Structures are given as C-alpha cells and as structure tokens.
Amino acid sequence: MSGILMRASNVTAVYAAATGQDVPAVDNVTVEVPEGKILGLAGESGCGKTTLGNALAMIANPPLYVVAGKMEIDDHEIDLSTLARNSNEVHRGYRGATVSLLPQGAMNAISPTLRIRDLVVDVMRAHDRNTTKADALDRATDRLKMLEMPVRVLDQYAHQLSGGMKQRMVTVISTLLNPALLIADEPTSALDVSSQKALIEMLLAMVEKRIMRGVIFITHDLPVLSMVTDRLAIMYAGKIVEAGPTEELVNNARHPYTSALLSSVLDPTEETRTKHVLGIPGSPPNLGNPPTGCRFHPRCAFAMPECSLKEPQFLHERDHSVACWWANDHAFETVPMEVNEA
Amino acid sequence: MRDSTDSGVPVLAASHVTKQFRVAGGHLTAVDDVSVEFHAGKVLAVVGESGSGKSTLARMLLRLMPVTSGTITYQGKDVTHIRGGELRSYWRDVQAVFQDPFASFNQFFTIGHTLRRGMRAEKLEGDTLDALIETCLGYVGLKPGDAVHKYPHQLSGGQRQRVMIARALMMNPKVLLADEATSMLDASLRVSALNVMQDLRDNLGLTVLFITHDIGQACYFADEVVVMEHGLIVERGTTDEVIFTPKHDYTKRLLSDVPDLKGSLKVRKD
Amino acid sequence: MTNISSSAASAEIEGPIVPQAPQAPEPKAKPAWRSLNFGPRMWVALGMILFVVVLAFIGPLFYPYAPDQKVGGLYDAPSAEHILGTDNFGYDVLAVLMASTRNSLINGLLAGTLAVLIGVLIGVVAGYVGGWLEEALMGITNIVLAIPAIVILILISMSLQSTDIPFLKGIVGLALVIGITSWPWTARAVRAQASSVATREHIDVAKLSGARTPGIMVFDVLPYLASYIVMAWVLQLASAILAESTLSMLGLGPSGTNSLGMQLHWALAFQAVAVGAYWAFLPPTIVLTLISFALLYLQSSLDEVFNPRLRRGKKKDLARAAARRAEAARKLAEQIEGRQEVTA
C-alpha cells in the first residue's frame, strides 16, 4: 500500500425504505486516496456520494446500513459493516481521529448559544475526556495561526460570523485531531464564490502542511473539483463509472456520462457563450429497480445492444479506469462531443 | 396587442427603486436607488451574490412586495401601486418561476389542478383548456399523461421545475421572471431548463429576466447582464461587455473568483 | 390567449425541446393514508375513547333501568341488581352515569368544535392577511384570553338559567357559552402557523395564478394547518368537557339535565363522601378522568402521526430487519467474490 493513504474495498450500503424493500444506495464501490492528495467524488443528486462518505466516515445510522466494506488505512484493517453488534464500538475508535467527516450543512448546525471556543472544547473532550480547556484552546489557537486565520473568531458566536468564515471554522474544528483522512461533503455549496475560493485555498494549505494526509471532496460542482482535486471519481446510481487523474478526466473523458456532465458545465468563458448543450435526457434511475446491464444505458447517446444486457467490466488504462462497453470498444478514445451539439 | 418590439420602449422598467426594511436599530437598505430597463424579446440576467438585493428587486418587479420609493413601469404604465383587478391583469402579463420546485407547489393539489387554477378567470374550460395544458406541457418536454394526475412529490425535481415553467406559460405572459430558477437543479437539468427559456425568447418573443448568483449561467444564455452588489447596480451592458471586458472592480473580482473548468487545472499545476 | 397555441402550431420546433429517454416502469405510488403511521399509543387512546362512547350511547340500549326511574332508597349500596348502587334520588347510578356521559360528550363535541371553528377562522385571517387586521383580531383575542374564563362562564350561565328560549337552557346552551369563550388559545396557535405558511412560495405562485385571498386562505393555507387544527380540536374537546364538569359541580350547570359534573354536584350536596357512599362520586370521577386522559393521550399520539421524526419503531421489528440484512450481506459477499474490482 505504498503511496496510498486509504483504500476502501467493496463498500455496499443499503437504505431500508418504508416499503420494506432495501435500496442499495452504494453498490460494491472501491476507492483509494493517495497519500497527500485530494480525491474528488462527483455526481448528481441520488448517485450515492454522500452515502459513501457516511459509510467511509463510519457514521452510518439506521435506516442506512453498511452491508459490506473493508477499509485499509495506516496498517489498520477496519470492517466498515454496521451489521455486527459491536460495530459501533469498533468504529468509535477511528471516528474523528483517523477519519473525520465534515457533513453537508455543518456550518448551519452550530449551536447558537455556544461561542466557537466552547465548541472547540466540546469536540476535543468528546475524544479525550481528560483534555483541559486550556489545552484545547491552545491547540485551536495554534492551528488558526498556522492557517493565517484571525484568532478572535474563537470568542464569537456563530451568528456573528459570515457563511464563509463559519465553514472555514468548522473545517478547522473537524481536523483539530489531525485525522489521517478528511471527508468533506459539499463544503462549498452554500457559499459565495469568494468564500468558496478562500475555503479551497485553506484546504490545500492544510494538506500541504500535513494537517490531514488526504481528503475526499464530495460535490456535484465540477469546476470546483478541477480547482482542488488531484484525482476524480464519477458516481452514477450507486456505482463508480469513471476514475482517474483530474486533468486527464477533464480533457479526455472516457465515459459518456462524464462527458455529458463536463459539457453541462457553464463557466464564464468564450466556449460557454457559443455552445449549445442538450443536457442528459431522462432522469436518474430508481435504485430499488435499476435498469439491467449498465445503469446509464437508457440515457446514453452511445448505447449499444450489449449495454442493456451485461454490467460493464472495468477497463484500466494506466491510472484511468472506466466502466463502459463503448469505452471498451474504443480504447483510449475520448468521448466525442459532437452528439451533444444541436 | 401592442407591438413592443421597438427597442426604444422598455417593456418593464424600474426607476429609482429603493427598498428598506426596518430592523432592530434602524434600517436595512436591501435595494438602493436602482434604475434598470428590460427590453422586449431579450434575456436580461441580474447577477449578484447573497445580500445583493437581486431577489428583493425581483419581488418588487413582480409586485409581490411593496416598494419603499421609486416607480415600476410596465409598457409605459405606472404599476407601482396597483391593486385588485389591475394587479391580477398585470399578473397575466408578467409571470415567474421560483427557486424551489417543491415549495412552489401546493402539495395537496394534483399537477392538473394547479395548472387549471390560473385559467378560471379566463373562463376556459373542457377541451380548450386541456389543449392548452397539452401545448404548454409539450413546450417543456412533458406529456399530459406523465404529469396531470400526479402529485408534486411523485415527480422529480427537474420535472417539477418544468411544470412550473408550463404553469407560467399558460397565463400567456409577455415577461417571464426566473428567480434562481435553476439553482436547485443538477447541472444536466439546469442546461435543459435554460434551453427552454432561450427557446421561449426565440419562438414566442418572451422577455426573460434571469436572476442568479451564477455568472456562468448568465454567460450561457443572457443577452444583457446587470451586476448588483449591496443593493446597488455596479455594472451593466451586453453579456460580452460585462463578462469579457468588465469595468467595475466587483465584477472583475467576481469573475476571477469563479472557478472555470479548464483554467483551474492550469492554476493547480504550479 | 391563443398566442402560445398558434405559435406552437406554426413554429418549426424541431423535435421536443427536451429530449425524451425511455422511462423504466414506475412502481405504483402508495396512497397517502398509508404513509401515516398510526402508532400503538393512538390505538390505546382510541380504545379508551371507544369504551366511553359505547358506555354513553350503546349502554342505555341494553341496560334495563332508566336514569329517572326510582329503584331504591337514598344511597343503597351496590348489589347484584344495581352494580353501582343508587344515588341520592334513588336512581340507578349506572343508568345515570350512562346518561351523564352522553350529555358530557355531546357538550364537549359541540363546545370544542365551536371553539375550533372560531379560533381557526380568526387565526387564519389574522395570520394570512396581517397588517392592522391582524393587530385588531389579536387584540380581541388577548382581551378574551385575559379575562378569567371561569368568571365569564359563571356569569353567563347564571343568566342562561333564567332564559325563556328552551334549547338554550340545557346542555346546548352551556356548550355554546363554553365554545365562544375558549377559542383564544386555538386562535393564537393557528395565527402563528398561518403567518408562517403565508411566507411560502406556493402562496406567491397562487397569487400569480390569479387566485383571490379567500381562495388562497382555504386552499393554500388551511390544508397546511390540518395537523395543528386536528390536535387543537382534540384539546378543545377535553377542555370543554372539563369546563362543563367544573361548572355543573359548582351548581351552575343546567340543573334539569344529567352530566358527569351534575352527578358530582349532587354527591357533594348530599355529602356522599361523609356518608361513605363511594359509588355516588367515584364512577363519574373515573369516567371523567378516563375521557380527559384518553383525549390528551390521543393528542400526543397524533403528534407522532404527523411528525415522522418522533416515531420509534418496535424493538422486534428492528431486530428482524437487522437479521434480514445480515443474510443479504452474506449473499452479497458470495457474489462479490466473482466480480471485478473497481479502483477509483
């Protein structure tokens, strides 16, 4: 496992729906985070990326059950499944200290009656009851100075801070214990572009200073991912459809879904001004009753007969992997964009 | 029907419009002496971050919120203080689509009921009404059979937003105001919704007011752009002018902070 | 009006604006009522209420004795023939109990429903319309709320006793009085909710569709308050029953009719406690307690029905589900052996 910080294999997580049926939100997914790098997890609503984040952070709660999965991190091998009676005790040791989750909407979940420093003390004490207030605050102060953030924020209440500052503070607090891996779920979604940029810069600085040794950045926003990630994995309907170095994926997408997502990106450039994009027809499948074979085939412009019959096997081209029958037939070819133009 | 294709006469205009809210300890000025004209048959984007006042301006233009001072003119007529029947006829010409596709629906009504609701005043019934529903839904890519008997929670987010656009179309408006209408949609659906609105401009001559925080979307389909900051308009012009040759510092900073797909890659390489 | 239809017909729109994809067959949507979760508490509460209702309305059909039939002497102890003995008038206590329960329930229903109707009307109008109308209505509400209800009730019911209008004399009159004095609580609660619903987007859409204020209040605001209104109604029922009992016990109720409070009144007047005639006051007390408790319990269980986050599943269901999942996991693990791995 040289050069790899964390490897999670065969993760499967299901939701117990009210109808009694179990819906697999994450289906046999394997991810790797290289040491000192940021992995981006991209996909649209319902693809399972948040569920995967929760499963990896070991905080899955009923009605979400992690049915299978193994995590290898730092010479530890952890069973991610939440079915065993003692799974909670096992996971508790790693939660927050080895793998830390920064959930979506964390910045709005700060208790309005606490000052930031009280929150810091609470979080530190939750892991080690013997931490003194002074120690906790010292640690926080040092961290803020290291990241060039104003220390006076510790004395303020959440409502006194701007959205961007709140998000940066929760990011700092969730990493005070120097977790090996930080999983950040949509950290930039509710922020203005300037706050977004500040948060991204802070995350990159934190990785460079080895506060965390790896980050999984979950979002649907591809331009943000191209700014912050080294590696990118695209999820669709609970499965990973393509993964590879960010630059390669953006310039040479091998899966039709990735290509469609990329062409749907609207950034203020000359290209956006002149292009006409059709979007992707249809809507994501019902995970309780997914399409046969490749889950994307009903919406795919390149669908071939075998796509509806067999689930695609993975094709590995160096460090770029893709699960697609069309890609299999067109080795190393980028998905053409013409079909998307009107 | 008045021909408002003469670009000299704006179809909708705000003149020195201000909105102040009373808050603990004084006033909050959400919109500060804003004057803007919207020309017929064009898409105008109002771009601003949260707190810029763009949504407040939108609500005042829609006459859903009273102005503190200033005037709003529609086709040359002052509509700032109209009420009752006059207001209802204004709302036949000026329609809107809002941000949250689910909250925009009365969850207790079927889609068909919601669509038919606006038509009661027109005394449209039976086959004519059904035909109109079919046309409007068809325009956004939906078939009546897919939606009319369903409840909002049975449709997907993208479908709901499209139904909302169809609902607005049924009133036969001349102006469509989209207030962050695409913000809650996934990227691929967003593009489809923008295409629909662009088509409304091209084929029906509708004037579209697109309120957004995302300057990239404005770049895709707007003809003119207005940039707001803290209740003031800081820049205005055609899309090419504002996005590729911005003059105001705020616009410049906004554009440089927005991550762009290919450009961001080069930055990281260092 | 024909703008869209004619242009759509004549314009050359190449194909659908939004491309369609073949849709997988959708699972049938569940009917709305199935998603309501009736927990065990609700069934217990309903059971208790059903018992009281049967006692009041079905009991008299089978019980041989009438409430105004002299069957014994003053405070005869319970016997095989008269399970609850006789009261101060020599009437069968159980017969009187059935009649009183019936009257108390009717009173509760009338008064509670009236209070809720007034409260909802005032609350919705005040909450939705806002402005000076809201100030005025809430001012009235506060005034009615501030005056001690019991004082008004006593004063009005005293004057009701001397009225000439026949139907106002009995239980109906009292119900009306209780109804028009106990609505403020509901009005306040409903106003707060209506005021919050009025800020939602679907209201703006309704306005843009040309709907008028009365229509919006009935179709766009009221349905969203349904859970509050139902819970308020149940509470008003309980409080109306208790209010009537209090008045009657004090001797201010309709003297001619039987009610749970009146039974207690006679028990007090004839010193049943001192004499040791527990059968004269214990049964009405128990029934009164039962019906109040049942209604309040129902109200708290309804909270669970309307607010899914409060639901707690039964332990054995969860255990069964966990076992199912462990089995599924084992099967999945076997399948995974044969599948190719994905490396992201």
d(CA B253, CA A164): 16
Q: How confident is the model at residue C169 (pLDDT cuts 50, 70, 90)?
A: low
Give the tens place of pLDDT for each residue, B209-237.
Answer: 999 999 999 999 899 999 999 999 999 99
Q: Is B181 on the interface with A (CB under 8 A)?
A: no
Tell me if A274 is assigned to some domain: yes
Q: What are B60-119's pLDDT values in tens digits?
A: 999 999 999 999 999 989 999 998 889 988 998 999 999 998 899 998 999 999 998 878
* Whole-number pLDDT of residue B125: 75
Q: Among candidates A253, A101, C151, A262, which has minimal Cα distance to B188? A: A262
* B257 close contact with A: CB closer than 8 A: yes
- Tell me, which fold does domain B12-269 have in CATH? Rossmann fold (3.40.50)
Structure confidence at residue C181 (pLDDT): 87
Distance CA(A16)–CA(A65), nearest Å, equals: 8
In this structure, are residues B249 and B233 in contact, taking their beta carbons and an 8 Å threshold?
Answer: no
* DSSP track, A282-319: S-PPPTTSPPSSSTTGGG-TT--GGGGTSPPPEEEETT
CB C157, CB C175: distance < 8 Å: no
Structure tokens at C283: 């049964």
pLDDT above 90 coverage of chain C, percent = 34
Cross-chain residue pair B259–A192, CB shorter than 8 Å? no
> Quick one: fold of C39-307?
MetI-like fold (1.10.3720)
Q: Is the N-terminal amide bond of A63 cis, ω within 30° of 0?
A: yes
Q: What angle do CA B74, B75, B78 make, to 5 degrees?
A: 45
The partner residues of A332 in beta bridges, in order of sequence, read none
Within its chain, how far is the Cα of B36 from the centroid?
Answer: 15
Q: Interface of chain A against chain C, CB under 8 Å?
A: 9-10, 12, 14, 16, 18-19, 22, 28-32, 39, 62, 65, 67-68, 81, 83, 231, 233, 239-240, 243, 278-279, 281-282, 285-286, 288-289, 291, 298-299, 313-314, 316, 321, 323
The amino acid occupying position A250 is V
**3-state class (DSSP) for residue B224:** strand
pLDDT at A327 over 50: yes
Answer whether residue A177 is part of any domain: yes
pLDDT at C340: 45
The reply to whether A310 and A281 lie within a common domain is yes
Answer for the pair A19, A213: CB distance below 8 angstroms, yes or no: no
Estimate to the nearest angstrom the gap between the alpha carbon of A63 and the chain centroid: 21
Residue C246's CB: how many other CB atoms inside 10 A?
A: 17
How much is the pTM?
0.81
Rounded CA-CA distance A281/A298 in Å is 9
pLDDT > 70 fraction of chain C, expressed in percent and rounded: 75
Restricting to B residues 158-197, those with a Cβ less than 8 Å away from any Cβ of C are: 162, 164, 167-172, 192, 195-196
C340 lies within 8 A of chain A by CB? yes
Give the C-alpha separation, B72 to B91, whole Å.
14
How do residues B3-53 score in pLDDT, each as one tens digit?
A: 444 456 789 999 999 999 988 888 889 999 999 999 999 999 999 998 899
**Which is nearest to B18 in space by CA: B232, B225, B213?**
B232
Reported confidence tier of residue C168, pLDDT bands at 50, 70, 90:
low
Q: Is B227 in contact with B212 (CB distance < 8 Å)?
A: no
In chain C, the residue whose alpha carbon lies closest to the alpha carbon of B191 is C18
Closest chain B C-alpha to C203 CA, distance in angstroms: 8
Q: Supply the pLDDT for residue C29.
A: 45
Of the candidates C23, B134, B203, the residue with the CA atom closest to the CA atom of residue A281: C23
pLDDT in tens, A2-23: 689 999 999 999 887 766 677 8
Domain total in chain A: 2
**Res C24 pLDDT > 50:** no
- Cα(C113)–Cα(A1) distance, rounded to whole angstroms? 72
Domain boundaries, given as residue ranges, for chain B: 12-269
The phi-psi region of residue B45 (left if phi > 0; otherwise alpha if psi is between -120 and 50; otherwise beta) is beta
Give the 3-state secondary structure of residue A5.
Answer: strand
Chain A: give the shortest CA distance to residue C321, in Å.
8
Decide if B215 and A250 are in contact by the 8 Å CB cutoff.
Answer: no
Domain final residue, candidates A205, A236, A267: A236
C-alpha distance from residue C343 to each of A10, A183, A318, B137, C264 (Å): 10, 18, 11, 43, 79
Alpha carbons C18 and B191: distance in angstroms, whole number: 10
Q: Are residues A225 and A256 in the same domain?
A: no
Q: Which helix (H) or strand (E) holds B1?
A: none
pLDDT in tens, A29-52: 999 999 999 999 999 888 999 999
CB pairs under 8 A between A and C: 86
| CATH code of residue A54 | 3.40.50.300
The pLDDT of residue A111 is above 50: yes
pLDDT top residue among C233 and C173: C233
| 8 Å CB contact of C4 and B88 | no
A145 in a domain, yes or no? no
Asked if residue A97 and residue A9 are part of one domain, the reply reads: yes
B113 to chain C, any CB pair closer than 8 A? The answer is no
Phi-psi region of A13 (alpha: psi -120 to 50; beta: other; left: phi over 0): beta
* ipTM metric: 0.88
Reference A166, options A135, A134, A143, A198; nearest CA is A198
Q: What does the domain layout of chain C look like in residue ranges?
A: 39-307
Provide the pLDDT for residue A57.
93
Q: Which of A129-133, A136-140, A143-147, C157-161 has the lowest mean pLDDT?
A: C157-161
Which residues on B lie below 8 Å from A273 (Cβ)?
219-220, 239-240, 243
Domain that includes residue A266, residue range: 252-340
In the three-class reduction of DSSP (H, G, I as helix; E, B as strand; rest coil), residue B34 is classed as strand
- Residue B245's identity, in one-letter code, is T
Q: Are residues A283 and A231 in the same domain?
A: no
